[in-house]
A and B are shown apart, each in its own frame.
Chain A
Amino acid sequence: MTETKQQPLKQTPLNDFHLSLGAKMVPFAGYDMPVQYPAGIMKEHLHCREKAALFDVSHMGQFTLTGENRIAALEALVPGDIQSLKLGRMRYTLLTSETGGILDDLMVTKREDDLFIVLNAGCKDTDEIHLRAHLPEGVALHRHDDLALLALQGPAAVNVLSAEAPALAELPFMAGAQASLFGVDCFVGRCGYTGEDGFEISVSVSDAEALAKSLLAHDDVEPAGLGARDTLRLEAGLCLYGNDIDEDTTPIEAGLTWTIGKRRKIEADFLGAEPIMNQLFEGTDRLRVGIQPEGRAPARAHTPIVDADGNVIGEITSGGFGPSVGGPVAMGYVRADTAEDGTEIGLMIRNKVHPARVAPLPFIKKGWQS
């Protein structure tokens, strides 16, 4: 996401903490965020895949939805099946627009007294307006700017956290629970954006820095910035809102049909259901696919994709170097008849065609079990 507004950057509660660690700070979604620490993106990325990386994701929006009819109210705006979620389980879903576009992607956890929602930093103001405009009487949306969010990601994350809160070792992937970590009350979800096992820890702003320091004190934990977060999620085949999905892409085009619950397809009563269901049955002109460049040159976002005859058939939406893959990786949209895995395509990098193939996502073996 690029910065166009001249407004002063917001800071997360961990700003001083990042500076004390020697982070290189950049503007992202209106926040002053660490893009990398002195170790650099490559090492931070690899450490996450090998042990555990600590990310500050406090810029993301945290909301709760309360009221007796909260589930029906949210289901009117997302294609995910929230009703069938068991207590304590979470689901990845999408806010869809009337025309079937994607307004945002979000995580929803069903808790005893509310639905806990985490959504993108760059969308939180517009999402809040959208949600408030559509919520019925009796359902209330609460914005929690008083909460910070830390992500501890990687195969060692479970050992780090379960040493403090043993019950977290048994928490299934895509579930959340209250926990006390280093004497601090948190809500911990087992989920993430890296393709690894890991946790996202929602904690009060006032306790965030102390918790981050305690986590970082563990031998297996190193800090990681937005740069590594981006390469990790790209290798894991996960969408970045604003790059890979937006208001002009639908869940079907984006390959996110799996997020539409079976019951939701039958009832088709969410915002944008009609155009989305039409696409589901009739097909789409383009699809999001993984792309494996054959050479060493990384293909960045907006790189044109061409067929064997040089006709433009799509565009890269995320691309770069995958440190765990050890070479370039990308994803993008191609014409639907060229979306089959293995299809030979070309990438127009600096006016030269570089050979590539449509490839299955993710690029790495997932480190979690659902």
Chain B
Amino acid sequence: MSDIRYSEEHEWIRVDGDVGTVGISDYAQGALGDVVFVEMPEVGTNLDQNAEVGVIESVKAASEIYTPVSGEVVAVNDAVDGDPSLVNTDPLGEGWLFQVKLSNADELDGLANQEAYDKFLEGLD
């Protein structure tokens, strides 16, 4: 599995072969607060990079989910559907949202690695 990559919209992706697993960053879950509902994209949907693909609702507000890469949705995390708080407790692990079969692996090069994302976050404060 490749290293984790981040988008500026605070989604992360880890790629294994040609399938990427997507979730939201620890920073994003902290900013959202208690997650109570996630509207996932449908399996089989073809996504364009940076398209709005779903919504995360916290007690406070609704926030869009964007896909960091283009491709076809091949799985969504049913565990998060049953227990949305997994996004808070384990955002980079069990709280993953969906898996996408990459249609253009070059898009990964435009995403930030951990170090660059940490720097990006510093700039936000």
Interface positions of A (Cβ within 8 A of B): 35-36, 40-42, 45, 227, 231, 296-298, 300, 320-321, 323, 328, 350
> Does the CB pair A297–B37 fall under 8 Å?
yes
Q: How far is the CA of A320 from the CA of B55 in the complex (A)?
A: 14
**CB of B86, distance to nearest CB on chain A (Å):** 14
User: When A40-B33, A42-B34 are in contact, do A297 and B59 touch as well, CB less than 8 Å?
Assistant: no
Residues of the A chain whose Cβ atoms lie less than 8 Å from the Cβ of B37: 296-298, 321, 328
Residues of the A chain whose Cβ atoms lie less than 8 Å from the Cβ of B34: 40-42, 323
Q: Which of B34, B59, B60 is packed against the most chain A CB atoms within 10 Å?
A: B59
The closest CB in chain A to the CB of B59 belongs to A41
Q: How far is the CA of A320 from the CA of B62 in the complex (A)?
A: 9
**CB of B88, distance to nearest CB on chain A (Å):** 9
Some 14 contacts from A to B, beta carbons below 8 A apart, are: A36-B60, A40-B33, A40-B59, A41-B60, A42-B34, A45-B59, A227-B33, A227-B59, A231-B59, A296-B37, A297-B39, A300-B61, A300-B62, A328-B36
Q: How far is the CA of A298 from the CA of B57 in the complex (A)?
A: 7
For chain B, the count of residues having a C-beta within 8 Å of the partner chain is 11
Additional pairs, 17, CB under 8 Å, beyond known A298-B36, A298-B57, A300-B61: A35-B60, A40-B34, A41-B33, A41-B59, A41-B60, A42-B34, A227-B33, A296-B36, A297-B39, A297-B57, A298-B62, A300-B62, A321-B37, A321-B57, A323-B34, A323-B59, A350-B39
A36, A227, A321, A350: the one within 8 Å of B36 (CB): A321
Residues of the B chain whose Cβ atoms lie less than 8 Å from the Cβ of A300: 61-62
Q: How far is the CA of A320 from the CA of B36 in the complex (A)?
A: 10
Over the window 21-52 of chain B, the binary record of Cβ atoms lying under 8 Å from chain A Cβ atoms (1 yes, 0 no) is: 00000000000011011010000000000000
Q: How far is the CA of A40 from the CA of B35 in the complex (A)?
A: 11
Q: How far is the CA of A227 from the CA of B55 in the complex (A)?
A: 20
Residues of the B chain whose Cβ atoms lie less than 8 Å from the Cβ of A320: 59
Q: Which of A35, A40, A328 is packed against the most chain B CB atoms within 10 Å?
A: A40
Q: Which of B34, B37, B39 is packed against the most chain A CB atoms within 10 Å?
A: B34
Q: How far is the CA of A36 from the CA of B55 in the complex (A)?
A: 22
Q: How far is the CA of A251 from the CA of B62 in the complex (A)?
A: 31
Residues of the A chain whose Cβ atoms lie less than 8 Å from the Cβ of B60: 35-36, 41, 227
> Does the CB pair B55–A350 fall under 8 Å?
yes
> Does the CB pair A321–B59 fall under 8 Å?
yes
**CB of A223, distance to nearest CB on chain B (Å):** 16
**CB of B51, distance to nearest CB on chain A (Å):** 14
**CB of A16, distance to nearest CB on chain B (Å):** 21
Q: How far is the CA of A36 from the CA of B61 in the complex (A)?
A: 13
**CB of B13, distance to nearest CB on chain A (Å):** 24
The closest CB in chain A to the CB of B36 belongs to A321
Which chain B residues numbered 1 to 35 have a C-beta less than 8 Å away from chain A?
33-34
**CB of A294, distance to nearest CB on chain B (Å):** 13
Closest 6 CB pairs of A and B: A42-B34, A321-B36, A41-B59, A296-B37, A298-B57, A321-B59
**CB of A207, distance to nearest CB on chain B (Å):** 32
Residues of the B chain whose Cβ atoms lie less than 8 Å from the Cβ of A323: 34, 59
**CB of A7, distance to nearest CB on chain B (Å):** 24
Q: How far is the CA of A36 from the CA of B34 in the complex (A)?
A: 11
B33, B57, B62: the one within 8 Å of A36 (CB): B33
Q: How far is the CA of A227 from the CA of B60 in the complex (A)?
A: 7
**CB of B94, distance to nearest CB on chain A (Å):** 19
**CB of B60, distance to nearest CB on chain A (Å):** 6
**CB of A230, distance to nearest CB on chain B (Å):** 9
Residues of the A chain whose Cβ atoms lie less than 8 Å from the Cβ of B33: 36, 40-42, 227
**CB of B32, distance to nearest CB on chain A (Å):** 10
Q: Which of A35, A227, A300 is packed against the most chain B CB atoms within 10 Å?
A: A227
Q: How far is the CA of A119 from the CA of B50 in the complex (A)?
A: 45
Q: How far is the CA of A350 from the CA of B39 in the complex (A)?
A: 10
Q: How far is the CA of A98 from the CA of B77 in the complex (A)?
A: 55
Q: How far is the CA of A328 from the CA of B39 in the complex (A)?
A: 14
Q: How far is the CA of A297 from the CA of B56 in the complex (A)?
A: 10
**CB of A245, distance to nearest CB on chain B (Å):** 22
Residues of the B chain whose Cβ atoms lie less than 8 Å from the Cβ of A45: 59
Q: How far is the CA of A41 from the CA of B62 in the complex (A)?
A: 15
Q: How far is the CA of A41 from the CA of B36 in the complex (A)?
A: 12
Residues of the A chain whose Cβ atoms lie less than 8 Å from the Cβ of B36: 296, 298, 321, 328
